[in-house]
């Protein structure tokens, strides 16, 4: 007997192998995290999530990152690694240390990438959201990272020199820009990212900085999957298997 199809909604939790992890930074901090893997298959690629600004409520459970972990292992065979940067708290726990404004967090990004490498996770992409895009641009351009997806990048901490370094790397850089963003809107984003020849700016009509609403979530998750596992794109809106 087959399971009836059910709509995928904001609260949907699809099957995955979910394991708490502790990341160890080079400056001696333990960071709280979780890895979510496909249940029966090896992942085809890995998403390392960098959350929004923790002083404004950003954390590993921020809704886009949580929904990526809840859905993409089952729908797209992706591994999803989420963690709290230094001093950040969520339902998963609190990472050691204090918020550093984006500088000391370079060690947090390095710890996440090092974990993914040591765990044998393949084709590692960064997914930054807001403050997380600044960390990706400043500290994520390393050999073990294949590319970066940027949600609502403010481009405040990241500099033209950081963009030039990504341009020199030749790695894909995908920026999803809300039409109604609070900090960087599509026209200005195209101008700023023009110095990265391989960058792709995707303007999302009607979207705002926080990507509220299931239609906007689906746009983001589909853009991720289109780049990381095109064979699984477009994502279904229903699930016919068992649910967690």
Give the residues of the chain that fall short of pLDDT 50. Answer: 1
| pLDDT tens per residue, range 10-56 | 999 999 999 999 999 999 999 999 999 999 999 999 999 999 999 99
Residue 230 φ/ψ, nearest 5 degrees: -55, -25
Domains of the chain, residue spans: 6-239
Residue 3: the pLDDT is: 73
Q: What is the CATH number of domain 6-239?
A: 3.40.50.1820
Residue 4: the pLDDT is: 83
| pLDDT tens per residue, range 152-175 | 999 999 999 999 999 999 999 999
User: How far does the chain reach from its first CA to its final CA, in angstroms?
Assistant: 18
């Amino acid at each position: 007997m087959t399971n009836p199809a059910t709509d995928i909604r904001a609260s949907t939790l699809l099957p995955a192998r979910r394991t708490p992890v502790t990341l160890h930074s080079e400056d001696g901090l333990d960071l709280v995290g979780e890895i979510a893997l496909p249940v029966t298959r090896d992942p085809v690629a890995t998403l390392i999530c960098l959350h929004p600004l923790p002083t404004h409520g950003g954390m590993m459970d921020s809704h886009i990152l949580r929904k990526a972990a809840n859905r993409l292992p089952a729908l797209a065979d992706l591994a999803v690694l989420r963690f709290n940067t230094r001093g950040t708290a969520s339902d998963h726990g609190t990472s050691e240390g204090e918020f550093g404004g984006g500088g000391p967090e370079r060690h947090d990004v390095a710890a996440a990438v090092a974990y993914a490498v040591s765990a044998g996770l393949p084709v590692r992409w960064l997914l930054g959201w807001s403050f997380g895009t600044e960390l990706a641009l400043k500290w994520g351009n390393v050999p073990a990272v294949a590319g970066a997806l940027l949600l609502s990048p403010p481009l405040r901490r990241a500099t033209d020199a950081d963009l030039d370094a990504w341009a020199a790397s030749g790695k894909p850089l995908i920026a999803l820009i809300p039409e109604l963003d609070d900090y960087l809107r599509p026209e200005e984003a195209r101008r700023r990212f023009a110095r990265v020849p391989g960058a792709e700016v995707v303007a999302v009509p009607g979207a705002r900085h926080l990507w509220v609403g299931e239609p906007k979530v689906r746009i983001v998750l589909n853009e991720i999957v289109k780049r990381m596992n095109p064979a699984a794109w477009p994502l279904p809106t229903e699930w016919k298997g068992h649910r967690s």
